[in-house]
A and B are shown apart, each in its own frame.
Chain A
Amino acid sequence: MTRPPRKPRKPVASGAISDRVLEPAAEAELELTWKDPPGFWGWLVTTDHKRIARRYLVTAFLFFGLAGLGAVAMRLQLSKPENTLLSAARYNEIFTMHGTTMMFLFAVPIMEAVAVFLVPLMIGARALAFPRLNAFSYFVYLAGALTLWIGFILNIGPDVGWFAYTPLSGPEYSPGHRSDIWAQMITFTEIAALAVAVNLTTTIFKMRSPGMTLSRVPLFVWAMLITSIMTILALPAVMLASSLLMSDRLLATQFYNPAEGGDHILYQHLFWFFGHPEVYIIFLPGLAFVSSITATFSRRPVMGHIPMVLSQIAIGFLAFGLWVHHMFATGLPHLGDSFYTAASMAIALPSGVQIFCWIATLWAGKPVWKTPLLWVVGFIVTFVIGGLTGVMVASVPLDLQLHDTYFVVAHFHYVLIGGAVFPLFGAFQYWFPKFTGRLLSETAGKWQFWLFFIGFQLTFFPMHILGLLGMPRRVYTYPSGLGWEPYNQIATLGGVMLFTSVLIFVINVLVSLRRGALAGDNPWDGPTLEWATTSPPPPYNFMLTPVVDSREPLWEHREELPVMEGLSTAKREVLTSSPSEAEPISRQASPEPSIWPFLSAIATTIVLLGTIFSEWALVWGALPLGVVLTGWFWPKRPRAGGEAQ
């Protein structure tokens, strides 16, 4: 794309807005105030949401790669019948690791990472509401991820599926600590995800720039808000499920023992009450990326802002009403199941509305075919198939045939890769300059896109047919003669293409980090506030707080952006505002870098890992945890605060 013809606009961050500008001395002071300590210590103590988000991004992407390697291994194993490349035990471990990693260590964290990076920028805030909590989240997430993968490397990897159904994951059928590691990994990652969700929700409600009323909140932020609220509501269910499982395994409680009044269906209810919203927790951020990319590259705002927002809210609501469609085959009363059929199908409506709006935006706009927009088109083509097969499996009778077959594998990969990973790669391409200051290579990006797109269809489309030919999921091998061989071979081939595509992306990133074109503040002429500051942004994000009077502030004010002063430069201060009208309320002190989040994460890790082996870890582990939390919450000397002007 040709650089949009525009006059150089002085972004707020560079402090050159004519009459309202910080003195160089003040600017230096601001820089000093928000700067992290240097070196490794600075890495440990930082509370800068951008640094933490980048860390999150890299870590999550690393696990994406590991889980992808697992997928390739599985595809190779399945490339021919009765293959012996992987043993049954190893295959079961790998598909467990693949699912678990993709869901808990990649999809959720990476979406949160993008949100953690961009949300404060998009709402014109200096920081997140709880910066230290954010640091804590990352460390806890990292500890959980390492627990799982080090376990796998040491041959104690869980082998009970990412859903870890009891009784297979229970004390009788999973001896050793494999299931414990899975269950505790859940606790780790869910603590982290909940903390991020609380953080984002608070930030979005309380820290928007003056003038950014709810009706001016960008679609991206809306999606992240709904995602965060869903996270807060859904994740406790799975933590409950896994904690009860732990307690059954460690303390011989009887939650999942029908002989003593427990129930295996209870586990499934708890798990899917989380598990289904989880899909939308992953997918709504994807929609957020799509909306941002579509708007920028269509050169116009997304058509139907209000229907879009309402659709997202509707998805958020409906997502909690259809978990039972994962359990149609468990023999629950059929009449009740029909309700979940209706709810599951109903969710196609808001999804359909959004698809319409994006296509309409493309239709009405002047689309520029940069790589991010290709990903959007790829998203629509792919995701709609997943959505439609979703309607199919929502039907109770049809699901009884399709459930737990490769048809479902195909379906949810179309939904999750189509609905989240395609937009995510688009988002990488789109925001990479903001993350790093440099552009990714367009050529490599297009190669990556086409390889990925074709590889994806080759891998997963045949799985629909495999499912219809009766191939069940989670089988480490299959007999010949059932007509499954050709489709499996095509899928394996596609899998290799996918892997190559991701390799290209990795190389693209590594090369572009050093040699990529310098991006400037707003390389794509994007409309939202994150483009109003430097790339990458300074630790304090904005020198002066932007004042917003439109949904597309940078398109509205092409010359200069209205700003507001009054936040201290000598100490870390953020502006809080009212939840709906975003009227400034107060100047709030924002915490300094601190080692306590890291120490707290260590203490949490000790407790959680200890409880795999002994319930006494809860007691003794509470001591260090108490110490670090005391340190964390030790009252600071009251500082001068006060009302903003």
Chain B
Amino acid sequence: MRRPASAAAALLLCGCTGVQTPLDPAGEQAASIHTIWTLMLWVCGFFYVLVIAGLVWAIWRNRRVAGGAPQASTHDPGMERGLAIWSAMIFVGLTVLATWSFFVDRSLASTHEQNALHLRVTGYQWWWKVEYQEGPHPWWFETANEIHLPVGKTARIELESGDVIHSFWVPNLSGKMDLIPGRHNVLDVTPTRVGVYRGQCAEFCGFQHAHMALTVIVEPQARFDAWRLHQLQPASTPATPDAQFGQQVFQSRACGMCHTIAGTDAGGRMAPNLTHIASRPTIAAGTMPMSKGALAGWISDPQGIKPGSKMPDVPLTTTESSAVVAYLSSLQ
């Protein structure tokens, strides 16, 4: 009985920072949801203490009397009054919570930012495709498993699914929203603090539901613009012979069937766009941090690292494999 109470106290103290927690809001939406959490915790905590107090009192009061002949049902006006007061308290508590919740909900729904940044996030088994729309002409560019957002600017994220239901959730920025085939959901996110946050698929989507994360990088507008301009460029041409061979392998083998590298013949759309893969923080949808070693491991044994993923075990020789790694890690 004491355990939950002390744990609740611990809960109040712990978890106030982190890259994937609603308790550390870094966005307007997450912050306003956080106010409900705080209110809920206090109101519910109060009622819980009350219930436990009542229970303890009831037990304490009767600690010496036990058993005996059964009593008849009695009419007890005091008890009725108590029940009425209790019910009224619950009613008031619920009303406060429901009203607060309602107004926060309205505020989430009523973001009508004219100047919002438009993105489209499409969920696939098991990675995220991210597309940006910018400027008077819809210059779209595409990246995967990472989102860059300028701080202080609302981003309107259109959520779609390419296969099964997924759920987009970056708890530090906002609540989650499902990506449902055949439907079109929109989530507004207004990051307020520069930082790197983590999001994860929050609806069971098959084998590798656990390995479907994305990184959100909130940065100052200037850095964001630089990033955006860079993303609009096609991939750099490989400089070293090793990387050039890697590009050849990439295009002539199964890689280019599913992956795109802009500016080359690799035009697959079914797997993450790798045009600037080396500039991303992670690979395989947050499964591993980006590094040459991780790339090499991933290319040689995707089914061992992420069983069931759609990336096949492509039989490459060691030379080919290291050339591909050299090529990919040159794609800044």
Q: Which A residues fall within an 8 A CB radius of B?
A: 1-2, 4-5, 87-89, 92, 160-161, 165, 167-168, 173, 258-259, 263-265, 299-301, 303-305, 307, 329-331, 334-335, 337-338, 341-342, 345-346, 348-349, 352-353, 355-357, 359-360, 362-369, 377, 380-381, 384-385, 388-389, 391-392, 395-405, 454, 457-458, 461-462, 464-465, 468-470, 472-479, 482-483, 525, 527, 551-552, 555
**Bound form: Cα–Cα A348–B68 in Å:** 34
Question: Please, how many angstroms separate the alpha-carbon atoms of A335 and B105 in the complex?
Answer: 9
Residue pair A366, B66 in contact (C-beta under 8 Å): yes
B210/A398 in contact, CB under 8 A: no
Q: How far is the CA of A337 from the CA of B102 in the complex (A)?
A: 10
Give the CA-CA distance A392 to B11 in the complex, in Å: 15
Q: Is the CB of B55 within 8 A of A403?
A: no
* A88 contact from B15, B22, B104, B307, Cβ within 8 A: B307
**A395 adjacent to B36 (CB under 8 Å):** yes
B79 to chain A, nearest CB (A): 5
A77 to B62, CA, bound (A): 45
Q: In the complex, how many angstroms separate the beta carbon of A255 from the nearest chain B beta carbon?
A: 13
> B73's closest neighbor in chain A, by CB?
A301
**Which 6 pairs, one residue from A and one from B, show the smallest C-beta to C-beta distance?**
A400-B175, A258-B182, A470-B20, A475-B210, A363-B58, A395-B101
Decide yes or no whether B18 CB sits under 8 A from chain A: yes
Which residues of chain B are within 8 angstroms of A352 by Cβ–Cβ distance? 47, 86-87, 90
CB-CB < 8 A to A398: which residues of B? 33, 36-37, 40, 101
Please state if A264 and B182 are interface contacts (CB–CB under 8 Å).
yes
Partner of A299, one of B3, B69, B82, B208: B69
State whether the Cβ of B180 lies closer than 8 Å to any Cβ in chain A: yes
Partner of A468 from the list B11, B70, B97, B183 (CB cut-off 8 Å) is: B11
- Interface pair A265/B79, CB less than 8 Å apart: no
In the bound complex, residues from chain B placing their C-beta under 8 Å from that of A479 are 213, 286
From A334, A377, A392, A527, contact of B105 by CB (8 A): A334
Residues of chain B within 8 A of A173, CB atoms compared: 163-164, 206
Q: Do residues A552 and B4 form an inter-chain contact, with CB atoms below 8 A? A: no
CA distance A266 to B37 in the complex (A): 31
Whether the pair B201, A381 counts as a contact (CB closer than 8 A) is: no
Across the interface, do B180 and A330 meet the contact criterion of CB distance under 8 Å?
Answer: yes
Q: Write the chain A residue with the least CB distance to B90.
A: A352
Type the 1/0 row for B179-209, where 1 means its CB is closer than 8 Å to any CB of A. Answer: 0111101100000000000101111111111
Contacts of B171 in A (CB 8 A): 401, 470
In the complex, whether B140 has a CB less than 8 A from a CB of chain A is: no
Decide: B210 and A477 in contact? CB cutoff 8 A: yes
**Known contacts A264-B165, A353-B87, A392-B44, then 4 further A-B pairs from the complex at CB < 8 Å, ordered by chain A residue:** A168-B164, A360-B58, A381-B1, A461-B3
Q: Judge whether B232 is part of the interface by a CB distance below 8 angstroms.
A: no
Contacts A341-B102, A349-B90, A401-B30 given; does A88 touch B62 at CB 8 Å: no
Interface string of B47-69 (1 = CB under 8 A from A): 11001101101110110011111
Residues of B within 8 A of A (CB): 1, 3-4, 7, 10-11, 14-15, 18-23, 30, 32-33, 36-37, 40, 44, 47-48, 51-52, 54-55, 57-59, 61-62, 65-74, 76, 79-80, 82-83, 86-87, 90-91, 94, 97-98, 101-102, 104-106, 108-109, 159, 163-165, 167, 169, 171, 174-178, 180-183, 185-186, 198, 200-211, 213, 286, 307-308
Could you say which residues of chain B place their CB within 8 Å of the CB of A457? 3-4, 7
Closest-by-CB residue of B relative to A163 is: B204
The residue of chain A having its C-beta at the shortest distance from the C-beta of B83 within the complex is A356
Task: Give, as a whole number of angstroms, the nearest-CB distance from B37 to chain A.
Answer: 6
Say yes or no: B62 contacts A329, CB within 8 Å: no
Residues of A within 8 A of B174 (CB): 400
Q: Are A385 and B165 in contact (CB under 8 A)?
A: no
Closest Cβ of chain B to A473, distance in Å, is 7
> Can you give 14 contacting A-B residue pairs, CB < 8 Å?
A2-B67, A5-B69, A87-B307, A264-B181, A265-B183, A303-B76, A334-B106, A341-B98, A352-B87, A353-B86, A360-B58, A380-B51, A402-B22, A404-B167
Known contacts A395-B101, A474-B209, A377 near B55 by CB under 8 Å: yes
Given contacts A359-B55, A366-B65, A397-B108, are A300 and B202 in contact (CB under 8 A)? no
Give chain A residues whose Cβ lies under 8 Å from the Cβ of B106: 334
- From the candidates A349, A377, A391, A473, name the one contacting B91 in the complex (CB within 8 A): A349
- Whether A384 pairs with B98 at a CB distance below 8 angstroms is no
Q: Which residues of A contact B66 (CB under 8 A)?
A: 1, 366-369
List the B side residues contacting A381 at CB < 8 Å.
1, 4, 52, 55
The answer on a CB contact under 8 Å between B307 and A89 is yes
Given A329-B176, A469-B21, A88 and B164 contact (CB-CB distance below 8 Å):
no
How far, in Å, is B9 (CB) from chain A's closest CB? 12
A365 to B174 alpha-carbon distance, docked (Å): 50
- Report chain B residues within 8 Å CB of A389: 44
A356–B54 alpha-carbon span in the complex (Å): 9
Instruction: Give A381's nearest chain B residue, CB to CB.
Output: B1
Given the interface pairs A345-B97, A482-B19, the reply to whether A88 lies near B208 with Cβ below 8 Å is: yes
**Which A-chain residue is minimally distant from B30 (CB atoms)?**
A401
Contact of A395 with B97 in the complex, beta carbons under 8 Å:
yes
**B101-A483 in contact (CB<8A):** no
> Which residue of the partner chain B has the closest CB to A383?
B51
Give chain A residues whose Cβ lies under 8 Å from the Cβ of B3. Answer: 454, 457-458, 461
**A551 and B165 in contact, given A334-B109, A470-B18 (Cβ under 8 angstroms):** no
Q: How far is the CA of A160 from the CA of B32 in the complex (A)?
A: 34
- In the complex, A385→B5 CA distance in Å? 10
CA distance A384 to B4 in the complex (A): 11
**CB–CB B68/A470 < 8 A:** no
Closest to B203 in A: A404
How far is A478 from B102 in the complex, measured between Cα atoms in Å?
A: 34
| A632 to B106 Cα, complex, angstroms | 59
Which has the most chain A C-beta neighbours within 10 Å: B61, B167, B209? B209
Pick the contact of A397 from B82, B90, B105 — CB < 8 Å? B105
Is the Cβ of A349 less than 8 Å from the Cβ of B105?
no
CA A359 – CA B57 in complex, angstroms? 9
CB distance from A472 to the nearest CB of B (A): 5
Q: Which residue of B has the minimal Cβ distance to A460?
A: B4
Q: Are B73 and A167 interface neighbours, CB within 8 A?
A: no
- With A349-B87, A555-B70 already in contact, the answer to whether A469 and B18 are too (CB < 8 A) is yes
A369 neighbours in B (Cβ, 8 Å): 66
Residue from A265, A355, A401, A454 within 8 A of B180 (CB atoms): A265
Q: State in angstroms the CA–CA spacing of A173 and B3 once bound together.
A: 43
Is the beta-carbon distance between A168 and B204 smaller than 8 angstroms?
Answer: yes
Distance (whole angstroms) from the CB of A77 to the closest CB of chain B:
11
In the complex, are the beta carbons of A384 and B203 less than 8 A apart?
Answer: no
Q: Is the CB of A329 within 8 A of B94?
A: no
Partner of A355, one of B20, B51, B68, B185: B51
Could you tell me the distance in whole angstroms from the C-beta of B304 to the nearest C-beta in chain A? 10
Q: Is B167 a contact partner of A88 (Cβ separation < 8 A)?
A: no
The complex places the Cα of A381 from the Cα of B8 at a distance, in Å, of: 14
> In the complex, are the beta carbons of B68 and A483 less than 8 A apart?
no
Q: Which residues of A contact B198 (CB under 8 A)?
A: 470, 482
Most buried by A among B54, B70, B211: B70
**What residues on B are CB-neighbors of A367 within 8 Å?**
58-59, 62, 66
A363 / chain B contacts, CB cutoff of 8 Å: 54, 57-58, 61-62
Docked Cα-Cα span, A399 to B33, in Å, equals 9
Cβ distance B321 to chain A, nearest Cβ, rounded Å = 23
Query: Which chain A positions have C-beta within 8 A of B72?
Result: 300-301, 555
Q: Is the CB of B177 within 8 A of A331?
A: yes
Determine if A165 and B165 form an interchain contact, defined as CB atoms under 8 angstroms apart.
yes
Closest partner residue, chain B, to A174 (CB atom): B206
The answer on a CB contact under 8 Å between B308 and A89 is yes
Q: B112 CB to closest chain A CB, in angstroms?
A: 14
User: What residues of A have a CB within 8 angstroms of the CB of B61 in the complex?
Assistant: 363
Distance between Cα atoms of A366 and B61 in the complex (Å): 10
